Chains A and B, each alone.
Chain A
Amino acid sequence: MPAAGVVTIVAVVLIVLALVVYLVATILKLQAIADGLDEVIASVGEIVEKSAPVNDVVLDINEQLDAGVELLEGLLVQKAGLRDALGLVEGLYPGAAAQGFRAFPESRELVPPRIAEVYTRGTLTLARLGREAPIAMANPAGPVLRDVQYGSMAAKLLYTDVRHTSPEKLPRSPVIGSGAPVQYEQREDIGRPRKRFARTKYV
């Protein structure tokens, strides 16, 4: 056999070997992919099976909740009136009045009265001021009024003018003793033994 023939055979064998090695490796990888896809399909099937009744159940829950909301809104509006009801809701949940009531679309255009401001926003004011703050004297939407650890004048200024701003205008402290402007007569019985009542016998 000529040398060229031997080289040809060697080349063909090499090509076939390369084909076998790579194709077998590829087949093994494809088998692994097929196994993984089987697991995926099984899990997806479970998901589909488990989530099948979710839609109906959630829709039913939403219908029930909508009915409850309409009932409560209707009762609130019936008892308090639309405007005051809106104010109550705004007082409890600031910003909720902008959405209005579902069953009363016209409520979105109303300006809610400032009901419950004393308690809700005042509480927020207290939280901003720290201690010693009167309720609802400042706008809770503003920044912190004072340093809650060291400053106290900002909170004191919210009260009526008593002692903290002009102490010189206060009446003087009462003078007691011999120099007091008002002298009272000393009672004679002070310092003496206490009167004792005669014992009575009960039969």
Chain B
Amino acid sequence: MTLWWIGNAVLLLVVLPVVVYLLKGVLDAASGIVPSIRQIAGAAAAGSKDLDAVPLLLTTQDQVRQTVAGVAGYGGSLDVILDDAEEE
């Protein structure tokens, strides 16, 4: 009977607090992850939205090609109009 009471005391004073402490630690850790996940989701969504202008790069690419072609045309004309530098 004495051992039974000792077992009860251990169960109530040791096992139960340890179980509660460990479970609370797990719950706190899980609760701490949730805000971080929300921030990451928000950042990823914002990053995805920022990339909506990426298709405009195709326009930029086309504009650059046309500009370089125009510069090449002007360069060819200048090459004809202007004399070359005298060699030193």
A residues sitting closer than 8 Å to B (CB atoms) are 2, 4-5, 7-8, 11-12, 14-15, 18-19, 22-23, 25-26, 29-30, 32-33, 36-37, 39-40, 43-44, 46-47, 50-51, 53-54, 57-58, 60-61, 64-65, 67-68, 71-72, 75, 77-81, 83-84
CA distance A72 to B38 in the complex (A): 51
Quick check: A22 and B23 within 8 Å, CB to CB? yes
CA distance A18 to B7 in the complex (A): 19
Quick check: B20 and A67 within 8 Å, CB to CB? no
| Interface residue tally for chain B (C-beta within 8 Å) | 49
CB contact list, B24-42 vs A, under 8 A? 24, 26-27, 30-31, 33-34, 37-38, 40-41
The DSSP consensus for interface residues of chain A is helix
Residues of A within 8 A of B24 (CB): 22
CB contact list, B51-85 vs A, under 8 A? 51-52, 54, 57-58, 60-61, 64-65, 67-68, 71-72, 75, 78-79, 82-85
Residues of A within 8 A of B82 (CB): 79
CA distance A57 to B68 in the complex (A): 16
Task: Specify the chain A residue showing the minimal Cβ separation from B13.
Answer: A11
Residues of B within 8 A of A12 (CB): 11
The DSSP consensus for interface residues of chain B is helix
Quick check: B54 and A36 within 8 Å, CB to CB? no
Query: How far apart are B16's CB and chain A's nearest CB, in angstroms?
Result: 5
B residues sitting closer than 8 Å to A (CB atoms) are 1, 4-5, 7-8, 11-12, 15-16, 19-20, 23-24, 26-27, 30-31, 33-34, 37-38, 40-41, 44-45, 47-48, 51-52, 54, 57-58, 60-61, 64-65, 67-68, 71-72, 75, 78-79, 82-86, 88
Quick check: A43 and B7 within 8 Å, CB to CB? no
CA distance A14 to B14 in the complex (A): 13
Find A72's partner among B15, B48, B60, B75 (CB 8 Å cutoff): B75
Quick check: B64 and A65 within 8 Å, CB to CB? yes
Quick check: A11 and B12 within 8 Å, CB to CB? yes
